[in-house]
A and B are shown apart, each in its own frame.
Chain A
Amino acid sequence: MAATDRDELLRLVICGSVDDGKSTLLGRLLHDAGVLPEDQLATLARDSARQHPNAPGQLDFALLTDGLAAEREQGITIDVAYRYFHTARRTFIVADCPGHEQYTRNMATGASTASLAVVLVDARKGLIAQTRRHSYICALLGIGQVILAVNKMDLVGFDPTVFEDIRRAYQALADELGIARVVAIPVVATDGDHVQTPSSRMPWHTGPTLLQAMEEAPIPQPADGDFRLPIQLVVRPHQDYRGYAGTVEAGCVQVGDTVLVQPGQTVARVATLHVAGEPADTAHRGQAVMLTLDPEVQAGRGQVLASADAPCPVASQFACQLLWMGDEPMLPGRAYNLLQGTGRVRARITAIKHKVDVHTQAPLAARRLELNEVGACNLDLDQDIAFEPYTTNAAMGGFVLVDLHSHATVAWGRLDFALRRSANIHWQHLDIDKAVRSHAKAQKPLCVWFTGLSGSGKSTIANLVEQRLTTLGHHTYLLDGDNVRHGLNNDLGFTAEARVENIRRLAEVAHLMVDAGLVVLVCAISPFTAEREFARGRFESGEFVEVYVDAPLAECEQRDPKGLYRKARAGLLANFTGIDSPYEPPANAEIHLLTAGSPPQRQAEQLAGWLVKRIVP
């Protein structure tokens, strides 16, 4: 049972539906492999006796793996549990995954590091919806091999035809999903048949036992590929050392090699190299390195050092597949942060091409993605990234999306290919540009974005500010969210999707006006951080000022200049911000106006004075 320091490591995920016997199988596996410590066995025996007073002496292996109080109370697995053991041949990390659909994101967490999936089915039930969903997610994540454990064979009389039917059905599913290798094994988890030792009750199974299959499964060796090093951080202890730290995600590198800093055109030679803290000449895939470049160049986190002979493709628009994991639905047009490699960029889903019924693989039309749904989407980033398709290199083609307000991880996705659209629609070059126009107006263009609850005083203050700026000779325009809804946006309602689109159009119009050299004042409740951040992202730095007009909800409701709060309270107006739709207060607004207790004239005066300094060239 002695593994050595030089063992190979296999990471696998076990998935199955509730009551299929997953925990029992895993417990049985650990027990038969002889890796359960005596005190854990004693605890297990005690817990088993307490839970099952009518089955003295029997071990309930499920009690071994459910580690959270809520899990034991509800008798279900909520989150993935990791188990570690080794045999004479291998070290294993097993991710034990929850079966319920509502915990798919936890299942995906467990599957994301695995290179093998053990899929469990109940011989009496055969393939069920969960089997198909788990297999779909595993295939989406790139797991190319499955051990199909057909459990509870004792309840179907050890019948080989039952097993064979299930095996054949699963093979068909695997073929559709692109899972290349399936090993099917009939087992009885409670008794250990074909778990570690071959079963005399099913001599017709001539293939491996579960443990053998785990020991024999090929460990995928990704094609070595061309050198890729996403920069994690730049280490500068003193003037004479500038080290780039990161993990090699493909290929290898030697001192003296020429690398390209991507995105970008800068090339440099690798001057020195450290691997896991020690000086080295060469570094390979999977190693944590620190290197210096000659000449010293400007490069930073999020950029990639790549083989200069064979660099990464670079793009900002992609076809991708998305597994949505947020409690709030995904809305096309909304801004998110995208993490890929070591980079973080602003991203929007521009289109949902279709969502996927993960049970049948059928494409379905969709306007949004809900929790645990998978969809094929188009993705638009606000800057180029160096990448590789997920199937070529998972580390360079996998990404997650992060909500701008809650900071939660709301999606996992894979980049499939770059869209050439951006390359085909050319930007018409104009001889008169923003600088020329703003020079003619003798002002620096600016977008001032007023956000706040209805009735907080946005329009009042913006009106006064505009009067003041015009008096001073500036060319302004007040873009009021309500007014724009009478024209440009008269096709939009108040659903979450429509609100996102409303703000997108306001931001684009404001952007055109700033390009025309104007000072634009935008008044819109704009309740969501994501949309305000999207608007900000459309402008150059210094051209966008966010003004948070902050009045307590009770105060706004009491003012109620348009009678809208009364209607909302009466249930006549759905999705009203502050009542039944949230307002996410800005965390980084340039200006925070507390309107209660101070006359709007004074506030407008002060704000105008501050803005003038930004506008006067």
Chain B
Amino acid sequence: MHCYHGTDPKHGAMTVSHLDTLEAEAIHVIREVAAGFGKPVMLYSIGKDSSVLLHLLRKAFAPAPPPIPLLHVDTTWKFRQMYALRERVAAAPDITLLVHINQDALAQGISPLVHGPTIHTELMKTVALRQALDQHGFDAAIGGARRDEEPSRAKERVFSFRNAQHRWDPKAQRPELGHLYNTSLATGETVRVFPLSNWTELDIWRYIRREGIEVVPLYFAAEREVIQRDGAWLVIDDERLVPRPGEGVQRRRVRFRTLGCYPLTGAIESDATTIDALIDELVHARTSERQGRMIDRDPGASMERKKQEGYF
């Protein structure tokens, strides 16, 4: 059997570009989840990685609709433009999107502004995620984390197992050889799966450009009303964030490299209003991506600790 090699720049040629390789491997992983688990879910956080993940989810099953629902663990403090994109995604006929909020914490009025990033994140993200997974009985959760984000992520397997308490034991990870993924679970175990493990921030943006994937406009530079707090530029997204005395509201050309809860996510000054400019900026970037995240500024191995406790 021999084939004619087409000249289609995306699929035909023999030399395979690294984006094609990353795409094919991620689709392979998503399909392994669909085949290997009884009740999988895809965690959807509305950020750029989630947008790529959703695109790959659709590709993995096309022309059929994805058999895996999306779950947004909502802290109620996302940017308004994020909620707008989430509603557009939820309205798509092929997508089932579930939203979970930690109602107990909401009733207690937990807020990042009052209780600080650590308690807010613990209750509205870590605990909320555990609640949602337990409530629905999901045995596998696909997430968009990448190994280039943070040192303890760099050590995590693509299929990362959690015990019944959702704890990660970094010292007892299963060997993972080539593309042979062992998907069998011991009683009570669940798994987090990271199809984008081997993607970098730059890969994500190149892929978004190549595929024309919709992302939240906050990733692109625009004049925005900001205040400076704790060394970060915060965008005032609604009336809940009240400037303190001395925090003058300024108009600055800023954009975000990552998106989370708006009072906890710092913007960077940038002129990158288009995706080409953004990629160009990244290629020459001299700071790392999660620098704008308040929650990551705890000392030392904080992410590892959060993950052991069940943070995604």
Residues of A within 8 A of B (CB): 1-3, 5-9, 37-40, 65-70, 72, 78-84, 86, 91, 93, 105-106, 108-109, 112-113, 226-227, 232-233, 235-237, 241, 243, 245-247, 251-254, 257, 274-278, 280-284, 286-288, 290, 301, 307, 309-310, 325, 337, 339-340, 342, 394-395, 398-400, 402, 406-409, 412, 587
Residue B114, interface by CB 8 Å: no
A245 touches B60 (CB 8 A): yes
Given contacts A67-B151, A67-B154, contact A398 B34 (CB under 8 A): no
Residue B283, interface by CB 8 Å: yes
Q: Specify which chain A residues have a CB less than 8 angstroms from the CB of B15 in the assembled complex.
A: 6, 8
Residue B35, interface by CB 8 Å: yes
Closest-by-CB residue of B relative to A112 is: B177
Q: Specify which chain B residues have a CB less than 8 angstroms from the CB of A83 in the assembled complex.
A: 148, 154
A81 to chain B, nearest CB (A): 4
Given contacts A288-B27, A395-B178, A409-B174, contact A254 B3 (CB under 8 A): yes
A3 to chain B, nearest CB (A): 8
The 4 A-B residue pairs whose C-beta atoms are closest, nearest first, are A277-B59, A67-B151, A237-B64, A9-B18
A2 touches B61 (CB 8 A): no
Residue B182, interface by CB 8 Å: yes
Partner of B17, one of A8, A251, A412: A8
A235 touches B151 (CB 8 A): no
Q: Specify which chain B residues have a CB less than 8 angstroms from the CB of A278 in the assembled complex.
A: 10-11, 59, 62
CA–CA, A69 and B206, complex, Å: 33
Given contacts A290-B62, A400-B180, contact A82 B35 (CB under 8 A): no
Residue B245, interface by CB 8 Å: no
A276 touches B27 (CB 8 A): yes
B27 touches A284 (CB 8 A): no
Give per-residue flags for B64-82: 1 if the beta carbon is below 8 A from chain A beta carbons, else 0.
1101000000000000000
A593 to chain B, nearest CB (A): 20
Closest-by-CB residue of A relative to B178 is: A112
CA–CA, A379 and B179, complex, Å: 21
Binds A, one of B118-126, B128-136, B246-254, B284-292: B284-292
CA–CA, A3 and B294, complex, Å: 31
What are 16 A-B contacts defined by CB distance under 8 Å? A66-B151, A67-B151, A79-B171, A109-B157, A245-B31, A247-B179, A277-B59, A277-B62, A282-B11, A287-B11, A310-B1, A402-B182, A402-B184, A407-B185, A409-B174, A409-B175
Q: How large is the interface on B (under 10, 10 to 19, 20 to 34, 35 or more residues)?
A: 35 or more
Residue B274, interface by CB 8 Å: no
A1 touches B148 (CB 8 A): no
A23 to chain B, nearest CB (A): 12
B62 touches A68 (CB 8 A): no
Partner of A5, one of B12, B14, B19, B150: B19
Q: Specify which chain A residues have a CB less than 8 angstroms from the CB of B60 in the assembled complex.
A: 245, 277, 288
Residues of B within 8 A of A (CB): 1-6, 10-12, 14-24, 27-28, 31-32, 34-35, 58-65, 67, 147-148, 150-155, 157, 170-171, 173-180, 182, 184-187, 189, 197-198, 200, 202, 206, 209-210, 283-288, 291, 300-301, 304-305
Closest-by-CB residue of B relative to A325 is: B175
Closest-by-CB residue of A relative to B63 is: A274
A286 touches B21 (CB 8 A): yes
CA–CA, A587 and B185, complex, Å: 12
A7 touches B18 (CB 8 A): yes
Q: Specify which chain B residues have a CB less than 8 angstroms from the CB of A407 in the assembled complex.
A: 182, 184-186, 189
Q: Specify which chain A residues have a CB less than 8 angstroms from the CB of B173 in the assembled complex.
A: 79, 106
CA–CA, A280 and B64, complex, Å: 16
Q: Specify which chain A residues have a CB less than 8 angstroms from the CB of B2 in the assembled complex.
A: 252
Q: Specify which chain B residues have a CB less than 8 angstroms from the CB of A301 in the assembled complex.
A: 35
Closest-by-CB residue of A relative to B283 is: A2
CA–CA, A5 and B59, complex, Å: 19
CA–CA, A288 and B10, complex, Å: 13
Query: Chain B interface mostly helix, strand, loop or mixed?
Result: loop
CA–CA, A281 and B11, complex, Å: 10
Closest-by-CB residue of A relative to B26 is: A288
B187 touches A587 (CB 8 A): yes
B178 touches A394 (CB 8 A): yes
Q: Specify which chain A residues have a CB less than 8 angstroms from the CB of B58 in the assembled complex.
A: 277
Most chain B beta-carbon contacts within 10 A, residue among A37, A226, A337: A37
A274 touches B62 (CB 8 A): yes
B63 touches A252 (CB 8 A): no
A247 to chain B, nearest CB (A): 5
A86 to chain B, nearest CB (A): 8
A253 touches B1 (CB 8 A): yes
B180 touches A339 (CB 8 A): yes
Given contacts A81-B151, A252-B3, contact A409 B18 (CB under 8 A): no
Q: Specify which chain A residues have a CB less than 8 angstroms from the CB of B157 in the assembled complex.
A: 109
Q: Specify which chain A residues have a CB less than 8 angstroms from the CB of B177 in the assembled complex.
A: 108-109, 112, 398, 400, 409, 412
B24 touches A1 (CB 8 A): no
B176 touches A109 (CB 8 A): yes
B54 to chain A, nearest CB (A): 12
Most chain B beta-carbon contacts within 10 A, residue among A72, A112, A283: A112
Given contacts A8-B15, A241-B64, A245-B60, contact A84 B155 (CB under 8 A): no
Q: Specify which chain B residues have a CB less than 8 angstroms from the CB of A5 in the assembled complex.
A: 17, 19, 206, 209-210
CA–CA, A3 and B185, complex, Å: 40
Q: Specify which chain A residues have a CB less than 8 angstroms from the CB of B28 in the assembled complex.
A: 232, 247, 288
B187 to chain A, nearest CB (A): 7
CA–CA, A99 and B64, complex, Å: 46
B27 to chain A, nearest CB (A): 4
A233 touches B35 (CB 8 A): yes
Given contacts A8-B15, A40-B288, A276-B24, contact A245 B61 (CB under 8 A): yes
Given contacts A276-B23, A287-B24, A337-B184, contact A282 B6 (CB under 8 A): yes
Closest-by-CB residue of A relative to B152 is: A67
Additional A-B contact list (11), CB under 8 Å, known A5-B210, A237-B64, A400-B180: A9-B22, A86-B202, A109-B175, A113-B178, A245-B31, A252-B3, A277-B59, A288-B27, A301-B35, A407-B186, A412-B177
CA–CA, A398 and B181, complex, Å: 12
A398 touches B200 (CB 8 A): no
CA–CA, A67 and B155, complex, Å: 7
Closest-by-CB residue of A relative to B58 is: A277
B152 touches A8 (CB 8 A): no
B68 to chain A, nearest CB (A): 12
CA–CA, A65 and B147, complex, Å: 12
CA–CA, A68 and B200, complex, Å: 20
Q: Specify which chain A residues have a CB less than 8 angstroms from the CB of B155 in the assembled complex.
A: 67-68, 79-82
Q: Specify which chain B residues have a CB less than 8 angstroms from the CB of A408 in the assembled complex.
A: 174
Closest-by-CB residue of A relative to B172 is: A408
Partner of A37, one of B21, B65, B147, B287: B287
CA–CA, A84 and B206, complex, Å: 15
A106 touches B147 (CB 8 A): no
Q: Specify which chain A residues have a CB less than 8 angstroms from the CB of B23 in the assembled complex.
A: 276, 288
Most chain B beta-carbon contacts within 10 A, residue among A84, A236, A280, A339: A84
Given contacts A245-B31, A337-B184, A407-B182, contact A79 B3 (CB under 8 A): no
